[in-house]
């Protein structure tokens, strides 16, 4: 998604309104997003990584599966086809993690609260320095994103 946005905004110079109302919904882009959110394809990739004993790749694909399972009930108009190539069906949830017309303000604030709490816990309580770094990096990334969102989208 970040590469899509950087290409649309940075390379093509398209305005925000066009990116999120037109470009995002174009068939080719939707197919690309759906492939990266495909539970069957991610399951195959995780299985291959497991068979190859590629633990880093396995963790990556399992985390993508967890993301997709959490993501599936949180999209309305912009739902992904999570079962490509088996099916192009899209679950259009009554709620959206971002769209104010579908409870997005509440869910966006809830997500932010969970991320800040979880990351803060890692930073303050983890006995492992690497996890403290992960927590701090996550907090920094969210702070940058919130600042960007406030500057560009409000």
Which token pair is 61? 């694909």
Residue 123 lies in a domain: yes
> Which comes out higher in pLDDT, residue 99 or 82?
82
Neighbours of 107 (CB within 10 A): 17
Residue 14 lies in a domain: no
> 150 pLDDT band (50/70/90 cuts)?
confident
pLDDT value, residue 152:
82
Residue 49 lies in a domain: no
Residue 1 lies in a domain: no
Place of tokens 């396995």: 58
8 and 29 Cβ atoms separated by less than 8 Å = no
Residue 71 lies in a domain: no
pLDDT value, residue 60:
97
Residue 24 lies in a domain: no
Q: Please give the average per-residue pLDDT across 143-153, as a whole number.
A: 87
> 149 pLDDT band (50/70/90 cuts)?
confident
Q: Please give the average per-residue pLDDT across 112-141, as a whole number.
A: 96
pLDDT value, residue 82:
97
Question: Measuring CA to CA, which residue among 44, 12, 46 is closest to residue 29?
Answer: 12
> 153 pLDDT band (50/70/90 cuts)?
confident
pLDDT in tens, 17-71: 999 999 999 999 999 999 999 999 999 999 999 999 999 999 999 999 999 999 9
Domain that holds residue 154: 103-154
* Average pLDDT of every residue of the chain: 94
Query: Quick check: 134 pLDDT over 80?
Result: yes
132 and 122 Cβ atoms separated by less than 8 Å = yes
Instruction: Tell me whether residue 93 is exposed, middle or buried, using C-beta atoms within 10 angstroms of its C-beta: 0 to 12, 13 to 18, 19 or more.
Output: middle
pLDDT value, residue 79:
94
Residue 129 lies in a domain: yes
pTM: 0.80
What is the number of domains present in the chain?
1
DSSP string spanning 48-92? Answer: HHHHTT-HHHHHHHHHHHHHHHHHGGG-STT---TTTTT------
Residue 41 lies in a domain: no
């Amino acid at each position: 998604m970040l590469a899509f946005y950087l290409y649309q905004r940075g390379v093509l110079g398209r305005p925000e309104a066009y990116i999120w109302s037109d470009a995002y919904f174009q068939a080719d882009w939707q197919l690309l997003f759906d492939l990266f959110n495909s539970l069957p394809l991610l399951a195959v990739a995780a299985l291959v990584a497991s068979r190859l004993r590629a633990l880093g790749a396995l963790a990556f694909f399992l985390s993508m599966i967890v993301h997709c399972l959490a993501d599936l009930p949180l999209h309305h108009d912009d739902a992904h086809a999570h079962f490509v190539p088996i099916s192009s069906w899209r679950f259009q949830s009554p709620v959206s993690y971002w769209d104010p017309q579908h409870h997005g303000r509440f869910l966006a604030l809830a997500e932010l609260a969970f991320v800040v709490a979880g990351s803060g816990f890692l930073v303050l309580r983890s006995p492992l320095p690497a996890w403290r770094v992960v927590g701090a990096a996550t907090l920094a990334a969210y702070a940058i994103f919130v600042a960007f969102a406030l500057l560009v989208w409000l």
